[in-house]
A and B are shown apart, each in its own frame.
Chain A
């Protein structure tokens, strides 16, 4: 720490590593704040030359947290290269795996990463304000978190073969059918999972009501939003088309086929981060900032197609159509858990779910393919270009955390200006800065893969903005 910079490094309880710098002015007031990502991966580069059928096996290695999302986006991009519609049962089984991923990831995010802040208190001892403290003080709640996450994990394992890095979706479909016994086992456990999801929702709504002023203002700022929707505008997590809306909920672009995303999304880079900065092309950089993920998805959708989740969406929207406070990410996440359970139940009760018609031939016929899914943290785009032999010529990946990059910086600035006072620095204040990042549940391992265009410059600046030292790479 210098006299002019407060450094929080590493940010705790997010996936991956990052640092935040808060820059003070001559009076010691917050002048600026930045969320830095300093990991480097290079997936887009080293995938070049691989056969397209290998991509669903390679790209999920980007992440051990939500590999299923990468797997599905990759398989969908490969389907587009194959140029054929996959069998209905294969699509349902993929979506079922995705629902398991949503359930387990959101359950972990809420119960294990975020609940300690809410249930133990922002200003409680940081050594206790974590899952360990929650286990000690609220073991019954921790058990529900374990059970709900395990249900999602078991769903992935049952349908796809293993919890992490399954090789189940392949270009043209899936490689394993579901048995009747497996279907019945998942249905048998669903009642308990619903109970835990509803419990978590009630818990969060209770916290919200008791801390209304703070949560309504927490990382609250205007932005645009992006997410997948069904043809009628309903929430969609596995398929569908892209919709953008503004801070008022007015639609900017609607029903954009995923293959056309490059016509609507631009990508900028900054010298102080390995993460890309995507923006809405028509609005320019940085004004085209948008958010993705649970908050964005509930802001862009017209409704939810399942009854319980749709009823909760109406409660979520009681005060206003669009929620801007970053705290609403947590609430939206739990509504999505409810949706994922309802949708999984629909899929499991479909008579075709145990069909063995699950795969079509997978020879390459198209030179490129785009696959998009709504990963737990937001829209995930895989875009592949192949030669006539099916070898990768170019790869573009835009991951959820990348979409949110501009917004996370905005959120950090907002919270820092409100809570960080240099001469009254308390741990609780710093934790709020970190916590606004945690609202987005960022996964930095996925978000750092651009190569060849990221100059790294380290600048040491005094209060006048004068650069007194520079390191360049």
Chain B
């Protein structure tokens, strides 16, 4: 079982870097069969990359109005076009992979509520706590998939 974990967001905007934080923490655990990536946004290149994996885990920050500190959900492939061409959703990436390469890795999205999106590279205490919980959750998930 090969797993790709993509933490994405703008790491120069405090809590928007939650995905980067999670990936950085996971890198300390040396999880077997896991490849870690960070990105500012999901781009079309990922459509090919994800095809090399059995499952893909996306980690991103969520808006402050979110109800839960963090949550996860399955990502269904479903590519659609956007007005701005350099932005894709996890569903877009999996959908494009399926259409272009005929591969269907499983997808799961972890969303972490952000509180502070001002300039800076530190997570707020609330988001940091939630991100650490996501790290534990993902680390616990891995053996189950192996």
Interface residues, chain A, with chain B CB atoms under 8 Å away? 10, 12-13, 15, 61, 64-65, 108, 112-113, 130-133, 135-136, 139, 142-143, 145-147, 149-150, 153, 163-165
B41 touches A132 (CB 8 A): no
Q: In the bound complex, what is the Cα–Cα distance between A121 and B74 (angstroms)?
A: 36
Interface contact B45-A153, CB-CB below 8 Å: yes
Mark the stretch among B55-63, B65-73, B82-90 that contacts chain A. Answer: B82-90
Cβ-based interface call for B47 (8 A): yes
Within 8 Å by CB of A150, from B39, B45, B84, lies B45
- Whether A163 touches B47, Cβ cut-off 8 Å, given contacts A13-B85, A64-B86, is no
Give the CA-CA distance A232 to B131 in the complex, in Å: 56
State whether A135 touches B83 (Cβ < 8 A).
Answer: no
CB < 8 Å neighbour of A146 from B12, B44, B84:
B44
Given contacts A135-B96, A135-B100, contact A146 B83 (CB under 8 A): no
Tell me which residues from 79 to 111 in chain B have a Cβ below 8 Å from any Cβ of chain A.
79-81, 83-86, 96, 99-101
Chain A nearest Cβ from B37, distance in angstroms: 10
Taken together as a complex, chains A and B put the C-alpha atoms of A165 and B20 apart, in Å, by 14
Report the minimal beta-carbon distance from B118 to chain A, rounded to whole angstroms: 14
Residues of B contacting A: mostly: loop
Closest-CB distance, B35 to chain A (whole angstroms) = 14
Contact A112 B79, beta carbon cutoff 8 Å: no
**Interface SS of A by simple majority:** helix
- Taken together as a complex, chains A and B put the C-alpha atoms of A371 and B108 apart, in Å, by 44
For the complex formed, measure the closest distance between the CB of B103 and the CB atoms of chain A, giving whole angstroms.
Answer: 12
- Asked whether, in the complex, the Cβ of B45 is within 8 Å of the Cβ of A112, the reply is no
Contacts of A135 in B (CB 8 A): 79, 96, 99-100
Query: How many angstroms between the C-alpha atoms of A249 and B45 in the bound complex?
Result: 39
Q: What distance in Å separates the Cβ of B53 from its nearest Cβ neighbour in chain A?
A: 16
A-side contacts of B41, CB under 8 Å: 64, 164
Is B48 at the interface (CB under 8 A from chain A)?
A: yes
CA–CA, A347 and B86, complex, Å: 29
Note all chain B residues with C-beta closer than 8 A to A113: 85
- Give CA–CA (A153, B45) in the complex, Å: 8
Flag if A146 contacts B99 (CB, 8 Å): no
**Pairwise interchain contact B12-A61, C-beta atoms closer than 8 A:** yes
